Structure 1
Amino acid sequence: MHAPGHPGGHPGRRTVIAATATAASAALLPLAGGLPRAHAAQAPVFAHGVASGDPLPDGVLLWTRVTPAPDAVPGSGKGAPVETRWEVAEDADFRTVVASGTVTAEAAADHTVKADVRGLRPATPYYFRFTADGAHSPTGRTRTAPAEDASADRLRFGVASCSNYEGGWFSAYRHLAARSDLDAVLHLGDYIYEYGHAEYPMEGDVVRTVEPGHEIVSLADYRVRHGHYRTDPDLQALHAAHPVIAMWDDHEFANDAWSGGAENHTPGEGGEGDWAARVRAAKQAYFEWLPVRPSTQGTTYRRLRFGKLADLHLLDLRSFRDKQSSIGNGGEIDDPDRTLTGRAQLDWLKAGLSASEAKWRMVGTSVMISPVAFGSVPAHLLGPLAELLGIPKEGLAVNVDQWDGYTDDRRELLTHLRDNRIGNTVFLTGDIHMAWANDVPVKAATYPWDEPVATEFVVTSVTSDNLDDILRVAPDTVSTVAETAVRAANRHVKWVDMDSHGYGVLDLTAERAQMDYVVLSDKTDPNATAEVRRSYRSLSGTQRVERAEQPVR
């Protein structure tokens, strides 16, 4: 997602869970469901909390970082190896430990450690912790996935994306952490941002200061940025409360990244250097700091299964894509030789969707798959909207960073769903800093006469700027004109909210998939409240979204 708020849309290129009464309240008070008070005072060596992720029916991936000495901070390369013990228990007091082992925290991995635990029971909550030099980490809570042959009654996921540290407080994470009803949290990308201080947003809109203060390029830079994010008490609380299933988008690397470069990367002397080296650094830090299992290609595209109710196919739409086309070059965006997914990943996805016997097929796509034309938006809003989307202000047509810029890949995938009668496919999307509920047609021009082949729920940003932030106006004022125009010109778009910040809660049963869109009162307020703004659902077998009158209970 392109960073708005800069002339021409381009940013300037050079320029332990702790108790508080504000943003961190949920991090230390007992969470609903009984997570005990964190032991931050007893564990100075675990300054970045604990995490779990990628749940399986028999296991889960555990994570922490050990700080062996005061100067062994993230990215420093300092600090001796530390033997670290991990434990998984049925109870929060660790009276019934069911699995344990040791791993070594070393400078070569920035003193992060992971334990890929197996032998656990399906669909079961567990508690976990680490111990080093006699000090315990905070206690985390996690949950395994249902057994592959289990007919789970329901699944419930938190869904989030686009968390810019300088853009606001991570209150969305605090509210997700406080919930006891989630099986996992799905993070759809832009977990970190690569910009330096006051590049995005600019100085007048910065809520708090990120480290390091410069644009991150090297391995040490990416490690420092990840480490700084993980000192946020709300983010620590999220990771301690739920397993997180994460995938990356562009800002884990650089804005509008593609396989050979990025908008926010100038190679050579005077720029950011070698792109391949930057990508290696970013990927290494990502896998060090996130509770994610890398695929065999060292990417984040992978598949998780949740009994007979749902499969989750997670895409990597940065590592294999061709460079974004120029605006207005329709022949280029329709070129069958250009790809967003790469041949191997698209074949993998099609085969997985065909083979799936699950009731629901969820696809995590970091950029929006629904076709959207913006030309009907009033002229005075085209500039700000183009700035938000990262599109040149002249000739606004489509967002070429999304599937709209790679129409042949989209056509092949959606035709595959139609021709093979693959139903109940739900695309889950972030990136665009807006909330959407869409039917997904093979061709927008023939909708609704031709049946849609899937649905799409797009969640807004945790903090990253959206339209009212760019315009510096009150939410739900100026933007409503643009929202109305987009819906009128794109009949498959059932709802769009261009102003709110927050997250989603996806609830799956055999009968329907429902997304509750939760919005924050104010991203600049560390005590922000949250409420459900809208709910949309797709009834099984329909491939259509409709408004749900009540949020899930």
Structure 2
Amino acid sequence: MTPDRRSFLRGGLVAGTGTALGGLLGGGSALASPGLVRRDRPRLTHGVQSGDVTAHDAVIWARSDRPARMLVDVSRRPDLRDARRIPGPVLTPETDLTGKTFLRGLPSGEELHYRVVLADTDRHSVRSEPVTGRLRTAPRVRADVRFVWSGDLAGQGWGINTELGGYRIFKAMAARDPHFFLCSGDLVYADGPLSETVALPDGRTWRNLVTPEKTKVAETLAEYRGQFRYNLHDANLRAFNARVPMIYQWDDHEVTNNWYPGEILDLPAYTEKRVDVLAARARRAMFEYTPTAVRAPKGGRLYRRLSYGPLLDVFVLDMRTYKDANGPNDSPTQRKGVLGAEQLAWLKSELRRSKATWKVMAADLPIGLIVPDGSAQEGIAQGDDGAPLGREREIADLLSFAKRNRVRNMVWLTADVHYTAAHYYDPSKAAFKDFDPFWEFVSGPLNAGAFGPNTLDNTLGGVPKFVQAPPRANTSPAEGFQHFGEVDIEADTGDLTVYLRDIDGTVLYQQTLTPLR
């Protein structure tokens, strides 16, 4: 049964354990008082976040300064006067005092307000100051949808510069009032130490906020956790997190640059050379600090499909966990690449099942740009412009499958390369032709060095329709060239419009796509 307004207000909302909220409150009573105010009460340290919001589910994240019980109040009203309370987990040092409360049974297509309060584990009436947030659940009927996407935060030595407004791109994204933010990876730069000052080409000085964990590459679990805490020092990001749910995927810099399973590092900055060890620590920190609905740091897969009503399904891909080793990428017989057999089979099945008008492919790597890793290849394309080789074979197989099974209206979104672009993949111009035409849009970085442009491989017939890249490598955020993308889907027509925007939200390029029936 679909929860409606009446069932929600009766106490139909349930916690992640599946316990009915009304029973927890003794028959659905009104929200209890916040509790006794004490000077030694717990404190929320890094704001609140929500994530993986669907029609009836959501995840709420918080962190405490000490062991405490997480409590979440949810309401349709901004003042939360009729809120329902959902008991969350006890936040302990085992998870670096972070925790997630899983909400179930939410009403679809509604703006909801929430408040997080911490209760002392020994003196339950001693409560923290509350921190509030907002989210919007996915619709069950055709409705307008807007979301933003980008990636790459605090990379190449460019961290939080409060003199220049911090991560001010999040203000521009918040001004678009999106339903959610698709983070395309590199939410942290665990391999990117910061210095307090950096000389800029125009004679100015860039001044970074620096924490102990950002003075070296991350290797320990504590250091990986510190990468995520660092970004949450920024007021713009915390305000954005409280207003806009996130869909998160990871890429390489959450661990180390261009990593792949089984890699052994040959870098003097690292004392731990085994990437698999580093990746396990980074993965745990990532699960602790992002509002993903995936619960298990070890076995829980990151690839997933999130439905956002009849007009949109988001397919969140994981192009890191199953990636093959970086090399020439030119095998004529290779079957695996960046997805792996299990994820590729899942993706094909989910694409066939999807009834949504638009299938957004959230990729942490572009599929047609050549991305070298020294003399090896980091990306999917490798630049010979001929028949699919290496990792290209996996993507070619997926695209051919989509054509055979009439999977229409796939749009690929990515970041990774630190500039913004629009690519149209045209089989009539491609070396490999067994696919339907489609678009790929690139946008980034959020706050990192700007680079590019990269070269488009012609295997899939990629045509650059728009490119904005900086004048030189590692251009600082002080010079602009920071970007995000926006997707608007119109309920009546089903048209999808992509806007590529700069650091202030100015539109640089837009493209409207009409769905194929």
TM-score normalised over the length of structure 1? 0.72
State how far apart, in whole Å, the 2-side matches of 1:437 and 1:325 are: 27
1:460 is paired with a residue of what secondary structure?
Answer: coil
Contact persistence 1:268–1:274 (CA under 8 A) = no
Residue 207 of structure 1, CA deviation: 4.4
1:413 has 2:398 as partner: yes
Residue 441 of structure 1, CA deviation: 4.2
Distance 1:463 1:399, change over 3 A: farther
State the match for 2:496 in structure 1. 513
State the match for 2:147 in structure 1. 157
State how far apart, in whole Å, the 2-side matches of 1:364 and 1:300 are: 12
Q: What is the one-letter code of the residue matched to 1:428?
A: L
Contact persistence 1:302–1:315 (CA under 8 A) = yes
Distance 1:452 1:129, change over 3 A: same
- Which of the residues 328, 347, 350 maps onto 2:345? 347
Q: What is the one-letter code of the residue matched to 1:401?
A: G
5+ residue gaps, structure 2, are: 1-38, 119-125, 160-165, 383-389, 471-480
5+ residue gaps, structure 1, are: 1-40, 69-80, 374-388, 469-478, 521-528, 543-553
1:490-536 deviation per Cα after TM superposition (whole angstroms, max 9, x unaligned): 6622112223212111111343221111102xxxxxxxx33111112
After superposition, residues 267-282 of structure 1 pair within 5 angstroms as 271-282=271-282
Q: What is the one-letter code of the residue matched to 1:292?
A: T
1:504 has 2:495 as partner: no
State the match for 1:28 in structure 2. none
Residue 192 of structure 1, CA deviation: 0.2
State the match for 2:33 in structure 1. none
2:45 is paired with a residue of what secondary structure?
Answer: coil
State the match for 2:249 in structure 1. 247
- Which of the residues 509, 514, 517 maps onto 1:539? 514
Distance 1:142 1:311, change over 3 A: same
1:159-188 deviation per Cα after TM superposition (whole angstroms, max 9, x unaligned): 1111126425411112222343x1111111
1:134 has 2:124 as partner: no
1:352 is paired with a residue of what secondary structure?
Answer: helix
Residue 206 of structure 1, CA deviation: 5.4
State the match for 1:445 in structure 2. 430
State the match for 2:334 in structure 1. 336
After superposition, residues 484-503 of structure 1 pair within 5 angstroms as 492-499=463-470, 500-503=481-484
- Which of the residues 397, 408, 427 maps onto 2:412? 427
- Paired residues, number: 437
State how far apart, in whole Å, the 2-side matches of 1:42 and 1:94 are: 25
1:191 has 2:187 as partner: yes
State how far apart, in whole Å, the 1-side matches of 2:442 and 2:136 are: 25
Distance 1:310 1:196, change over 3 A: closer
RMSD: 3.1
1:176 is paired with a residue of what secondary structure?
Answer: helix
State the match for 1:84 in structure 2. 70
State the match for 2:34 in structure 1. none
Contact persistence 1:511–1:540 (CA under 8 A) = yes
Distance 1:277 1:467, change over 3 A: closer
State the match for 2:110 in structure 1. 124
1:401 has 2:379 as partner: yes
Residue 138 of structure 1, CA deviation: 2.1
1:308 has 2:310 as partner: yes
- Which of the residues 365, 368, 391 maps onto 1:367? 365
Residue 324 of structure 1, CA deviation: 1.4
Distance 1:343 1:293, change over 3 A: same
State how far apart, in whole Å, the 1-side matches of 2:295 and 2:343 are: 11
Q: What is the one-letter code of the residue matched to 1:341?
A: L
State how far apart, in whole Å, the 2-side matches of 1:419 and 1:450 are: 9
State how far apart, in whole Å, the 1-side matches of 2:373 and 2:146 are: 35
Q: What is the one-letter code of the residue matched to 2:183?
A: H
Residue 43 of structure 1, CA deviation: 8.9
State the match for 2:168 in structure 1. 171
State how far apart, in whole Å, the 2-side matches of 1:272 and 1:444 are: 46
State the match for 2:83 in structure 1. 97
Instruction: Calculate percent identity across the aligned residue pairs.
Output: 24
State how far apart, in whole Å, the 1-side matches of 2:242 and 2:227 are: 20
1:319-353 deviation per Cα after TM superposition (whole angstroms, max 9, x unaligned): 01101123xxx633x44244210100001111111
1:284 has 2:284 as partner: yes
State the match for 1:454 in structure 2. 438
2:44 is paired with a residue of what secondary structure?
Answer: coil
State how far apart, in whole Å, the 1-side matches of 2:497 and 2:41 are: 40
State how far apart, in whole Å, the 2-side matches of 1:271 and 1:335 are: 36
2:100 is paired with a residue of what secondary structure?
Answer: strand
Residue 435 of structure 1, CA deviation: 1.2
1:331 is paired with a residue of what secondary structure?
Answer: coil
Q: What is the one-letter code of the residue matched to 1:514?
A: T
Contact persistence 1:360–1:424 (CA under 8 A) = yes
Contact persistence 2:402–2:435 (CA under 8 A) = no
State how far apart, in whole Å, the 2-side matches of 1:206 and 1:302 are: 39
1:146 has 2:139 as partner: yes
1:344-363 deviation per Cα after TM superposition (whole angstroms, max 9, x unaligned): 00011111111111111111
Q: What is the one-letter code of the residue matched to 1:189?
A: G
Distance 1:486 1:435, change over 3 A: farther
1:354 is paired with a residue of what secondary structure?
Answer: helix
Residue 456 of structure 1, CA deviation: 1.2
State how far apart, in whole Å, the 2-side matches of 1:179 and 1:86 are: 27
Distance 1:425 1:207, change over 3 A: farther
TM-score normalised over the length of structure 2? 0.77
1:229-276 deviation per Cα after TM superposition (whole angstroms, max 9, x unaligned): 1111111011101111111011111110112227xx349996324322
State how far apart, in whole Å, the 2-side matches of 1:42 and 1:452 are: 62
Distance 1:142 1:400, change over 3 A: same
State how far apart, in whole Å, the 1-side matches of 2:380 and 2:198 are: 25
State how far apart, in whole Å, the 2-side matches of 1:230 and 1:359 are: 35
State the match for 2:219 in structure 1. 217
After superposition, residues 2-21 of structure 1 pair within 5 angstroms as none
Distance 1:217 1:451, change over 3 A: closer
State how far apart, in whole Å, the 2-side matches of 1:142 and 1:350 are: 30
Higher RCO by CA contacts (8 Å cutoff, separation 6 or greater): 1
State how far apart, in whole Å, the 1-side matches of 2:139 and 2:40 are: 35
2:330 is paired with a residue of what secondary structure?
Answer: helix
State how far apart, in whole Å, the 2-side matches of 1:210 and 1:423 are: 47
State the match for 1:257 in structure 2. 259
